[in-house]
């Protein structure tokens, strides 16, 4: 099969599409990786699925390049990126530090605060801390989130005093320290970044209490509103904020920034996703399609980030 024209001059050799893994987001990663693998193979790339939960990482030595479609701890948090760096294998997306920061909601928010970038007020709550003191400091409603999980795993919205303690226990399934964040009541937006290009902003509308796991991957009623409804000036402000937040953690190549807008229309940063979902329900492919980029074009451009941002480059 002839290599697709979009990759001419950049022969990737043998590409391992890293997917699966052993995080709580395994099934989503398998779906993301499967879609990326099919797109690469359709373009003539010698691509092969590689599940680090089923194969020794040392087996990657037989590959020339890695396309990372792993989500969650062990794949999105800098661990896999560090191993690829040590093995000298170029890979897609962000490096070790940015991956670790993007996965750590607490430290990324601390960094944004230090740079005067707006992010909702928060507390890190550990076992033994008084939930009522958190409510006194932040008010209600609140969001409770594990520090280092994606796909809204373990996340809950808290509207009443008595719901905070159970929500903390739910989040502690994924780690003892939990992020509690003041809720910004307003529309949710997401901005996808692809190298120097910002894809069209999406406004997310759901019938669930918030954009949770079910709304992201299972519900057929979730609505991705494109165009997002913001006027040109407001969207430009949101784009500028997203790009600054992305750059602040050192992210590169591609990714997604999630935000909420308050009653005055001001945007607030929630998190950066350095390896967003690539399923048929995912936001980045939807934004790319709105910009005229099909799945193959999108995947080709993500693969090309491994030339600029791979190991030792």
Catalytic residues: 25, 151, 217, 256, 258, 271, 273, 277
C-alpha neighbours within 13 Å on the C-beta side of residue 46: 9
Q: Which two tokens mark 290?
A: 């709105």
Residue 76 three-state SS:
coil
Tokens of 312: 């030792």
| Tokens encoding 59 | 């087996």
**Which of 103, 63, 73 lies closest to 303 in space, CA to CA?**
63
- Interatomic CA distance for residues 77 and 97, integer angstroms: 8
* CA separation for the pair 312, 80 (Å, rounded): 15
Measure the CA–CA gap between 146 and 176, rounded to whole angstroms. Answer: 8
Strand arrangement, sheet containing 142-146: 122-125, 178-182, 142-146, 156-158
Which residues lie closer than 8 Å to 148 by C-beta, 6 or more apart? 73, 77, 103, 104, 105, 174, 175
Cβ(138)–Cβ(121) below 8 Å: yes
Instruction: Enumerate residues 6+ apart whose C-beta is below 8 A from 151.
Output: 24, 25, 28, 71, 72, 213, 216, 217, 277
Phi, psi of 201 (to 5 degrees): -65, 145
d(CA 72, CA 59): 21
Q: What is the CA radius of gyration of the chain?
A: 19
Check if the beta carbon of residue 256 is closer than 8 Å to that of residue 204: no
């Amino acid at each position: 099969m002839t290599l697709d024209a979009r990759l001419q001059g950049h022969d990737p050799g043998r590409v391992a599409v890293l997917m699966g893994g052993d995080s709580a987001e395994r099934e989503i990663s398998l779906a993301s990786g499967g879609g990326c693998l099919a797109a690469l193979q359709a373009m003539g790339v010698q691509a092969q699925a590689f599940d680090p939960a089923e194969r020794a990482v040392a087996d990657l030595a037989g590959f020339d390049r890695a396309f990372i479609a792993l989500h969650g701890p062990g794949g999105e948090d800098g661990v896999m990126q560090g191993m690829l760096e040590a093995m000298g294998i170029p890979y897609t997306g962000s490096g070790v530090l940015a991956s670790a920061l993007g996965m750590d909601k607490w430290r990324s928010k601390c960094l944004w605060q230090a740079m005067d970038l707006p992010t909702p007020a928060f507390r890190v709550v550990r076992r033994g801390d008084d939930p009522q003191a958190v409510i006194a400091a932040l008010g209600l409603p609140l969001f409770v989130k594990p520090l280092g999980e994606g796909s809204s795993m373990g996340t809950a919205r808290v509207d009443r005093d008595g719901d905070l303690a159970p929500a903390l226990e739910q989040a502690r399934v994924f780690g003892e320290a939990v992020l509690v964040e003041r809720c910004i009541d307003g529309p949710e937006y997401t901005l996808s970044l692809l190298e120097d290009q910002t894809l069209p902003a999406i406004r997310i509308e759901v019938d669930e209490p918030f954009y949770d796991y079910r709304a992201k991957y299972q519900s057929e009623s979730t609505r991705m509103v494109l165009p997002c409804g913001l006027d040109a000036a407001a969207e430009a402000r949101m784009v500028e904020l997203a790009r600054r937040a992305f750059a602040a953690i050192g992210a590169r190549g591609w990714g997604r920034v999630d935000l909420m807008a308050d009653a005055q229309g001001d945007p607030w940063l929630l998190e950066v996703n350095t390896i967003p979902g690539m399923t048929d329900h995912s936001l980045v492919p939807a934004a790319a399609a709105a910009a005229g980029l099909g799945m193959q074009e999108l995947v080709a451009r993500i693969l090309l980030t491994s030339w600029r941002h791979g190991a030792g480059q």
